[in-house]
Structure 1
């Protein structure tokens, strides 16, 4: 699988149509832009006046793309996903439904462990200390009966964004940036879950009846700290607090999907790393395998990638140094 493109439509009055297997983006007063539909992974439409042809939406879904519609506050409000996602979908749905409680609890344990460990790494990067989160991650038991996920959050947020910060899905400022980033990564996670043939509404932990993407909300947890990392960097780059009204800020948050991250022994763009994690979750639920392929460490900088490439090119008998992140 190659890395798909992530597009945002934000010019007022944009019209989307299709011609010759390309998405035609027509903006008032500007030349049309054409993008091969097969290259599009996520299309974010942040334009209340945008219009679509039915053929364009069908072509995007047939190509496996996710279409995200944003509301007036620029936050993603809904998404379109393909239903015919995998040739053995029914078989995998049955296996997922029949997966026992031990398998679901082990999966949630792995997801919470990875999330808390990632939070510790982000915290150490910005503050020099992980506040004991690495040790806390190791203590997560099957199903997280001690709710260490919540305990970790109580340590994490005040140290990362200040003692006065409180997570709030309705608040402005840093919360709005986090909400935008989470929503975009959640949409990409839902795409990965559907693509692997799993039922997105049947979670291993999340079970809210009105939530059609419970499993995506499970799987996205260890990826949330990448959004935290990006938001913390955005907040520290200028004197004026960034807002979602700024298109450049939204583009910066969207670009987290293109960051290269480590998943097991592989280095993948985050958008593709989600597919690797979803595939491992499918194996755990449908085949009973143990362990999930989940992200570790911060996104890789250019020098880290160059270092890793040099190590991969070294002779087998050489003992390469442990790569740093």
Structure 2
């Protein structure tokens, strides 16, 4: 499987030659085999990409993410078509059974809350009352236990003064980390022949990644945990690099140990198989094993 993520942080020309991405800077030239790459983040506004490289990125199902002047992801590439996309795949997505969609969403919420509880427990923070909220999750999370837990979870993990929507280094890091995971999920949705736009729970007209926004939920606590273990007062390049490296963190997914990016690949495949009635998915197990602090 592809194992390399590439981050561009300085003035550079990116082009394609000899089945490689060529990165030319003021100092040197580097060649990265295109078949090894699954993610490229252009973390500068001073990079130039050739159209042939963009064409090859698209053909090889590589996710390309651009950031704004503050370093926050602002857009990503989404192929019009994948090698697997057909009318029948998109028709099946539009016609997914409501019961299947609600069952999957219920499992996503439960796994997310369970992982949030695990984070609090790991940090010796109060968590036992949230077990009651987990047990209270109903079909399709109709009573919105996800939001109830979130209100308590973030202030316990990051401190009583923490407000999720404030412009702070922690929130900037959370948003960045979530965007990286979302990009990887969207890449795999398209690679499986589906569109990230049509979700099972999220349905916002202005969200091109509703399905990705659904599937990311169990992964968010992994980002939360890493950030809560860092000591930083500015959203620096080191924090950004660390968040990208999380894609190589070791996790246990459905009883198997694997890298996080490989778990995303398997997870997306499992979810669409379940929605198509081709796989049972009574629980979703996603557990962080370890990463570089």
Smaller-chain TM-score range? over 0.9
Q: CA deviation at 1:233?
A: 1.0
Q: Structure 2 residue aligned with 1:154, among 151, 155, 172?
A: 151
Q: Which has the larger radius of gyration?
A: 1
User: Are residues 1:269 and 2:259 paired?
Assistant: yes
Q: TM-score, normalised to structure 2's length?
A: 0.94
Match of 2:39, SS state, is: strand
1:33-78 per-residue CA deviation (whole Å, 9 max, x = no partner) reads 1100111111000111100100011111111100000001100000
CA distance change for structure 1 residues 260 and 292 in 2, over 3 Å: closer, same or farther? Answer: farther
Q: CA deviation at 1:293?
A: 7.0
Say if 2:85 and 2:194, in contact at 8 Å, map to a contact too.
Answer: no
Q: CA deviation at 1:292?
A: 6.5
CA distance change for structure 1 residues 3 and 294 in 2, over 3 Å: closer, same or farther? Answer: farther
Q: CA deviation at 1:128?
A: 4.8
Unmatched runs of 5 consecutive residues or more in structure 1: 236-240, 303-325
Q: Structure 2 residue aligned with 1:130, among 127, 130, 147?
A: 127
Say if 2:125 and 2:157, in contact at 8 Å, map to a contact too.
Answer: no
Whole-angstrom CA distance in 2 between matches of 1:33 and 1:186? 28
Instruction: Find the counterpart in structure 1 of residue 103 from structure 2.
Output: 106
Which stretch of structure 1 is more off in the superposition, 152-161 or 284-293? 284-293
CA RMSD of aligned residues (A): 1.8
Instruction: Find the counterpart in structure 2 of residue 230 from structure 1.
Output: 226
Instruction: Find the counterpart in structure 1 of residue 208 from structure 2.
Output: 212
User: Are residues 1:280 and 2:270 paired?
Assistant: yes
Whole-angstrom CA distance in 1 between matches of 2:128 and 2:195? 36
CA distance change for structure 1 residues 151 and 202 in 2, over 3 Å: closer, same or farther? Answer: same
Q: CA deviation at 1:137?
A: 2.3
Instruction: Find the counterpart in structure 2 of residue 310 from structure 1.
Output: none
Q: Between Structure 1 and Structure 2, how many residues are aligned?
A: 292
Match of 1:78, SS state, is: strand
Whole-angstrom CA distance in 2 between matches of 1:268 and 1:86? 25
Say if 2:40 and 2:64, in contact at 8 Å, map to a contact too.
Answer: yes
Whole-angstrom CA distance in 2 between matches of 1:210 and 1:201? 10
Say if 1:22 and 1:37, in contact at 8 Å, map to a contact too.
Answer: yes
Whole-angstrom CA distance in 2 between matches of 1:196 and 1:123? 35
Q: Counterparts of 1:1-325 in structure 2 under 5 Å? A: 2-11=1-10, 13-28=11-26, 30-87=27-84, 89-168=86-165, 171-235=167-231, 241-244=232-235, 246-287=236-277, 289-291=279-281, 294-300=284-290
CA distance change for structure 1 residues 84 and 174 in 2, over 3 Å: closer, same or farther? Answer: same
Whole-angstrom CA distance in 2 between matches of 1:275 and 1:124? 28
Whole-angstrom CA distance in 1 between matches of 2:106 and 2:266? 18
Say if 2:21 and 2:31, in contact at 8 Å, map to a contact too.
Answer: yes
Q: CA deviation at 1:7?
A: 1.1
Whole-angstrom CA distance in 1 between matches of 2:59 and 2:82? 9
Q: CA deviation at 1:83?
A: 3.2
Q: CA deviation at 1:281?
A: 1.1
Unmatched runs of 5 consecutive residues or more in structure 2: none
Say if 1:14 and 1:47, in contact at 8 Å, map to a contact too.
Answer: no
